[in-house]
Amino acid sequence: MVEPFDRRVLDVGDGHQLHVEQSGNPDGVPVIVLHGGPGGGCSPYMRRFFDPSYYRVVLFDQRGCGRSQPHASVEANTTRHLIADIEIIRSTLGIERATLFGGSWGATLAVAYAEAHPDRVGAMVLRGVFLGRRSELNWFYGGGAARFFPDRWAEFQAPIPEAERGDMIAAYHRRLFSGDRGQETRFAMPWLVWENTLAGLEIIGAGHAPPDYARTFARLENHYFANGCFLEEGQLLHNRHRIEHIPAVIVQGRYDMVCPPSTAWELAKGWDKAELRLVPASGHALSEPRIAAELVRVMDGLRDGTRQS
């Protein structure tokens, strides 16, 4: 495993301090990795997609999660704040332009940042695309995915009174932000399990997570989803013209139940510099073997000046 050559805590204002690390070649091509969630945090696993002799890999924990502080905080925590944080990180590290590497919510944030600062992005590698639209949230929390996982959906609904089940995001929001830490933690686990069970083609260890992690993840994700990801409806597709000069590769699991392929298809359609790679027999998770292998091929292809198929 490649170890970071630099770890630091970066004060980005509003009382937030971000954990930032760099690995690989200090003089290499910069890649900024954007983790999912919101609230997922980074892990050492995320370093393994990049040739350490060629890439300068920047990972950071977004506001309120991972090793960033204050933990589980939703104060001054919006998409606009996260875009500004990426700019602070880029400027502080002396990076002129970077490749953005992000999956799921990380893909959302990558597109949002690129549309805000297109001159600072050299290329984009996106996985399991999510664009923060109401239709996408309705798929996952309004019964769409439940058609494939009725048993797991029933478990997700079970803690919520029947009268409140018409809006599961709002129902969980009331409990994840009740001010009772015990209650928040109890309701965090079914929120986390519902997502994790659908992330891969096989359900493995979906119910195992430290309580503090579950609470942080659930609170941050619910906070963003309850607020429409702090985006105007359809904003990222509407503003896609701002990034159409940027080369992009989109890696999408054919059987992704968290972020169905139709969203990646919509993003790529008509974007001449974007290549959509639909990966067979694969779901959503970064760790799925075919997804991981394809991402390595993409990054090696960018290194070699080719797009390896």
Catalytic sites, residue numbers: 104, 256, 284
Nearest to 288 by CA among 127, 64, 100: 127
Alpha-carbon dihedral angle through residues 245, 129, 289, 98, given to the nearest 10 degrees = 40
Which contacts (CB < 8 Å, 24+ apart) does range 224-227 have?
A: 224/38, 224/79, 224/105, 225/137, 225/141, 225/169, 226/169, 226/170, 226/173, 227/78
How far, CA to CA in Å, does 45 sit from each of 1, 33, 150, 161, 213? 8, 12, 31, 38, 17
Nearest to 30 by CA among 8, 6, 61: 6
3-state class (DSSP) for residue 213: helix
Sheet holding 6-13, edge to edge: 6-13, 16-24, 55-60, 29-34, 98-103, 121-127, 248-253, 274-279
* Euclidean distance between CA atoms 88 and 260, whole angstroms: 32
Asked if residues 284 and 257 have their Cβ atoms less than 8 Å apart, the reply is yes
Label residue 270 left, alpha or beta by phi (over 0 means left) and psi (-120 to 50 means alpha).
left
How far, CA to CA in Å, does 70 sit from each of 67, 81, 229? 9, 15, 20
